[in-house]
Amino acid sequence: MDKQQIRNAYKMYLLENGKEPVSVYMLCKTIDMPESEFYGFYSSLEAVERDIWLAVFEETLQQLQADETYPQYNAQEKLLSFYFLWVSRLREDRSYFLLQRDIFTVPLIYRNKLSAFKTAFYDYISALIKEGYASTEIKERKYISDQYVHGFWVQALFVLKYWLDDTSDNFELTDAAIEKAVNLSFQLIGSNTLDSLLDFGKFIFMKK
């Protein structure tokens, strides 16, 4: 038994029963696993849920990093590649993730379930932003630069929610939404657009 088998068992239980197991005991019963053995891998069922989201992210990154062309991409291209592949991997378990869609109506719940994924995503995006500084794709700005990573997290949640709600053929609308969201974000944090907006804001403020 390993973590992946436990994660798969958890997903299968949810798919077959339409709800989470009420206890670790109930989950272990379905895979003939002593409850004491479960705690050698996870501390709770919530920890399994968090790891399911994290595992998809980590598997996505591993696949990207194994691609010889990925390191040659600029920051914007890397993020586009990440989102396209991430959604593709989520798609493999879409029925499971659709059952998780209601978590977005209760912020405290989704923050808990996505917390491990969020931490890993922040690390990934922080490194990507640094690459953007070096390539001048992204402009470093006093007071504002520290907020970039939070903006990208909101973007990731937007992509996820959009995909969960998407009913278009082959999720074509999600692909279009990803392109538009990433293009807009890099325009905003590039050298021109945001500076123009800030200058305009200062001008209006000084006029009052």
CA distance 91 to 196: 39
Confidence of residue 1 (pLDDT cuts 50, 70, 90): confident
The pLDDT value recorded for residue 150 is 95
CA angle, 12 then 18 then 24, to 5°: 60
Q: What's the mean per-residue pLDDT of the chain?
A: 89
Phi, psi of 106 (to 5 degrees): -125, 95
The pLDDT value recorded for residue 106 is 62
CA distance 181 to 152: 10
Give the model confidence (pLDDT) of 43-70 as tens digits.
999 999 999 999 999 999 999 999 999 9
Place of tokens 């969201």: 181
CA distance 104 to 161: 8
pTM of the model: 0.89
How many residues are given for the chain? 208
Give the model confidence (pLDDT) of 61-114 as tens digits.
999 999 999 999 999 999 999 999 999 999 999 999 999 887 766 666 667 889
CA distance 175 to 154: 17
Domain ranges in the chain are 74-207
Confidence of residue 204 (pLDDT cuts 50, 70, 90): very low
CA distance 151 to 107: 17
DSSP 143: T
